[in-house]
């Protein structure tokens, strides 16, 4: 296999990994702040610097492939990031062309949640499964779906924006401006906002706004606001997942991202709501819900899988 | 091509068609009442009688294939209809085995909306498209999806029960018992119920409960209840369709069934809500919304397509 660089461009960090013989584990990896507030060009400079920091030997550069995951919908044919809500100024960025011009090699641009499900499918929780729905729940909610051993991309590569499923008509506004989307009810941002609206935790976070991990810990310790907010988020998420099960009839649901890592109490609630919200018990037969096993590495390994399946 | 019999088993009528050389048009076709109230066995007897009425020559019987569409989720591997809300007593009916035993030929059992999208894709509104979402909106709401030139079936063939997408947390109860599903807000049944709840039409239907066609006609004539109910249904349907566009990024949405046939005012509202509910204009690029062109024939021609693509 040719050498592969995988890049996971997030709102907070840029992670990059170098797979010198096109197989895991990574030969070298790096992470640096995205510095999103400094503008689109600064982020591009940081991406290049992250790849430089991998110290790729000149011999490998000649036949390198780069796979980059972006936090927003990607127009597949043109390799354009249409917009990235957590990266100010990222609107119609021709990331494929920009990377190709700079690095003079084959470049694949993909939505980051699509890369994550590819990674989990090939190297993580999803090995051996043929029909997978994955949600990455952090600042926002991303989605990736494997249908009969293929990544679901749709007509222009924009498919599976699963954070933007409407689950509450006229509900709270989402980051995209539309009402009642899953992301507006169950993302880390939505959970933190609801805790604030309900007067905060009994023992407020030292850092100001409480993180999902802190809210989950407070819920375990009996904090009534934390419990009520996480229950409401789990209700929305479990209901949305039931809709996805009716849509895709998957054998496996994988939950990734910080909110999924918040763990036990929340995930148990989500699974209970999901199972009790199915239209027929047949949908639950053989259906597993698992946390991501690859964590932050899912998208990077997905980048590797993307290059391997495309070449 | 071998001769094919296609059967569309509906809550009201059983339609059957015989394609003697495996191509449209049908050599012979028939329709008879389902008589669902008489129980599961009576319906099975009517299916057999409908096929008998096609007067298939003995020469064709020897290498016949039968494709039958059922109004509910079908466990593909076992050819079992799990349940059919509009056919009392239909719970775990081994339709494949029953038909095979009776007719001694190859039998395909498929969800009726899946058959409809196959029909539209091969012979109707969907010709030439690769990514299609179809809803059939009548008594209930069925769904069928083509992803990259393949019917989406999921792990057990239960996928695309798109009437059972939750679009309103804690909303009105659906026929399946769950709250807030699209079917509970925008099916013909839901529209008629809402008109009743709001005091009925100014000029009540002679037949008791108004049909969707009558409600649509009343809306065109300015009836305020009809307008308000159809607007609310269009709001739910357009919002749900936006979620499906975010999920599948299709190039084409096909609307079939009686409610779709109710026409202009309603479909214009649905399309306006859909387009204004998308998270990004890129999802609307090249996206078409079309009514079914095959109408009641969609599922029958889909049965023919099913046999052709399976053999």
Give the closest-approach CA distance of A242 to chain B in angstroms.
Answer: 8
Give the closest-approach CA distance of B287 to chain A in angstroms.
Answer: 9
The CATH fold assigned to A128-292 is Nucleotidyltransferase; domain 5 (3.30.420)
Does the interface predicted TM-score (ipTM) exceed 0.90? yes
Residue B261: per-residue pLDDT:
78
Q: Which CATH number fits domain B4-117+297-310: 2.60.40.60, 3.40.190.10, 3.30.420.40, 3.40.50.1580?
A: 3.30.420.40
| Res. A311: pLDDT tops 90 | no
Does A248 touch chain B if contact means CB atoms closer than 8 Å? yes
Residue A256: per-residue pLDDT:
93
Do B280 and A130 make contact, defined as CB atoms within 8 angstroms?
A: no
Those of residues 151-180 in A touching chain B at CB distance below 8 A are 152-162, 164-169, 171, 174, 176-178, 180
Q: Give the pLDDT confidence of A174-231 residue by residue, as tens digits.
A: 988 999 999 999 999 999 999 999 999 998 877 777 888 899 999 999 999 999 999 9
Do A246 and B165 make contact, defined as CB atoms within 8 angstroms?
A: yes
Interface test with A, best of B129, B180, B238, B247 (most A CBs within 10 A): B247
Contact residues on chain B for A113, CB-CB shorter than 8 A: none
| Residue A110 CA to its chain's centroid (Å) | 12
Cβ-Cβ pairs closer than 8 A, A with B, add up to 153
Q: Give the pLDDT confidence of B85-139 residue by residue, as tens digits.
A: 889 899 999 999 999 999 999 999 999 999 999 999 999 999 999 999 999 998 8
Domain positions in chain B are 4-117+297-310, 128-293
| Res. B264: pLDDT tops 90 | no
Does A243 touch chain B if contact means CB atoms closer than 8 Å? yes
Closest chain A residue to the Cα of B273, Cα to Cα: A178
Contact residues on chain B for A180, CB-CB shorter than 8 A: 239
- Residues of B taking part in catalysis: 112
- Angstrom CA distances, A17 to A8, A114, A126, B287, stand at 9, 17, 21, 37
Whether the Cβ atoms of residue A65 and residue A307 lie closer than 8 Å to each other: yes
Whether the Cβ atoms of residue B216 and residue B208 lie closer than 8 Å to each other: no
Closest chain B residue to the Cα of A167, Cα to Cα: B167
Backbone phi and psi for residue B62, each to the nearest 5 degrees, phi listed first = -60, -35
Q: What is the mean pLDDT of residues B266-273?
A: 94
CATH number assigned to the domain covering B128-293: 3.30.420.40
Backbone phi and psi for residue B93, each to the nearest 5 degrees, phi listed first = -90, 120
Instruction: Report the 10 Å Cβ neighbour count for B243.
Output: 31
Edge-to-edge, what's the strand order for the sheet holding B80-83? B74-75, B80-83, B91-93
| Res. B164: pLDDT tops 90 | yes
User: CA A204 to CA A210: how far, in whole Å?
Assistant: 7
| Res. A22: pLDDT tops 80 | yes
Contact residues on chain B for A277, CB-CB shorter than 8 A: 166, 178
Q: Give the pLDDT confidence of A239-261 residue by residue, as tens digits.
A: 999 999 999 999 999 999 888 77
Contact residues on chain A for B177, CB-CB shorter than 8 A: 279
Do A130 and B154 make contact, defined as CB atoms within 8 angstroms?
A: no
Mean per-residue pLDDT over chain B, rounded = 94
Which residue among the candidates A45, A112, A149, A170 is catalytic per the annotation? A112
B4-117+297-310 matches B128-293 in fold = yes
Reported residue count of chain B is 311
Cα–Cα nearest to A246, from B188, B154, B70? B154
Whether the Cβ atoms of residue A271 and residue A88 lie closer than 8 Å to each other: no
Do A248 and B154 make contact, defined as CB atoms within 8 angstroms?
A: yes
Per the annotation, the verdict on A38 as an active-site residue is no
pTM above 0.80, yes or no: yes
Do B247 and A160 make contact, defined as CB atoms within 8 angstroms?
A: yes
Closest chain A residue to the Cα of B236, Cα to Cα: A169
Give the closest-approach CA distance of A154 to chain B in angstroms.
Answer: 5
């Amino acid at each position: 296999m040719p050498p592969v660089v995988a890049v996971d461009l997030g709102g907070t960090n840029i992670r990059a990994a170098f797979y010198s013989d096109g197989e895991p584990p990574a030969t070298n990896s790096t992470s640096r702040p995205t510095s999103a507030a400094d503008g689109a060009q600064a982020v591009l400079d940081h991406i290049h610097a992250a790849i430089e920091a991998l110290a790729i030997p000149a011999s490998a550069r000649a036949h390198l492939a780069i796979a980059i995951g972006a936090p927003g919908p990607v127009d597949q044919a043109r390799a354009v990031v249409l917009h990235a809500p957590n990266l100010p100024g990222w609107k119609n960025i021709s990331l494929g062309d920009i990377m190709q011009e700079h690095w003079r090699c084959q470049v694949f641009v993909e939505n980051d949640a699509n890369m994550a499900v590819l990674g989990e499918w090939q190297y993580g929780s999803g090995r051996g499964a043929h029909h997978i729905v994955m949600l990455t729940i952090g600042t926002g909610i991303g989605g990736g779906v494997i249908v009969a051993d293929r990544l679901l991309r749709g007509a222009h590569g924009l498919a599976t924006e699963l954070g933007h499923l409407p689950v509450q008509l006229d509900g709270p506004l989402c980051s995209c401006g539309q009402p009642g989307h899953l992301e507006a009810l169950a993302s880390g941002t939505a959970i933190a906002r609801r805790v604030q609206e309900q007067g905060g935790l009994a023992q407020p976070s030292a850092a100001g706004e409480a993180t999902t991990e802190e809210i989950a810990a407070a819920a375990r310790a009996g904090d009534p606001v934390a419990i009520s907010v996480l229950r409401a988020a789990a209700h929305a998420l479990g209901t949305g997942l039931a809709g996805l099960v009716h849509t895709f009839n998957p054998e496996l649901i994988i939950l990734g991202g910080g909110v999924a890592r918040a763990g036990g109490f929340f995930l148990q609630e989500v699974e209970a709501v999901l199972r009790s919200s199915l239209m027929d018990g047949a949908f639950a037969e053989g259906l597993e819900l698992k946390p991501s096993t690859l964590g932050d590495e899912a998208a990077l390994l997905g980048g590797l899988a993307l290059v391997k399946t495309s070449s």
